[in-house]
């Protein structure tokens, strides 16, 4: 996913203003400095995964909106995809292995040998 951090910063600023939050008020909610928020909004630095998730919770948007400007219809499956997207490669592989294991167990439990999706 290619992210234009200046555009992402502008979206953060627009969301902050739309929610009538000052830099200091948002910083307090996220437990970061107000200068960090200002730097994100300028695109000079970018928030880490924890802070992106905190922004999403604060503004009730998905990571995809903050990062790319695209709001995807919120479904459980899409929410999980968005969360997995924020993981590093090692953690993505771990999640994939857990899902594979769960599907294998479910297929065994199902007893018909078919794929359960």
- Cα distance between residue 29 and residue 24, in whole Å: 9
How would you class 10 by CB atoms within 10 Å of its CB: exposed for 0-12, middle for 13-18, buried for 19 or more?
Answer: middle
- Cα distance between residue 51 and residue 35, in whole Å: 14
25-29, 48-52, 76-80, 112-116 — which is least confidently predicted?
A: 112-116
pLDDT tens-digit series, residues 80-110:
777 888 889 999 899 889 888 888 887 766 5
Q: Which CATH architecture has domain 5-68?
A: Orthogonal Bundle (1.10)
Q: How many H helices and E strands in the chain?
A: 7, 0
pLDDT tens-digit series, residues 18-38:
999 999 999 999 999 999 999
CA atoms in the 13 A half-sphere facing the CB of 113:
0
Q: What is the pTM of this model?
A: 0.61
Domain residue ranges of the chain, discontinuous segments joined by +? 5-68, 76-110
């Amino acid at each position: 996913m290619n992210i234009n951090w200046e555009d992402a910063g502008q979206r953060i600023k627009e969301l902050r203003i739309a929610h009538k939050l000052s830099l200091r008020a948002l910083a307090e909610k996220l437990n970061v400095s107000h200068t960090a928020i200002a730097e994100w909004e300028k695109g000079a630095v970018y928030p880490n995964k924890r802070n992106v998730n905190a922004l999403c919770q604060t503004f009730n948007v998905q990571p995809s909106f903050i990062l790319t400007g695209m709001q995807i219809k919120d479904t459980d499956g899409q929410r999980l995809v968005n969360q997995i997207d924020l993981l590093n490669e090692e953690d993505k592989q771990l999640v994939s292995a857990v899902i594979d294991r769960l599907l294998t167990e479910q297929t065994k439990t199902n007893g018909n040998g078919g794929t359960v999706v």
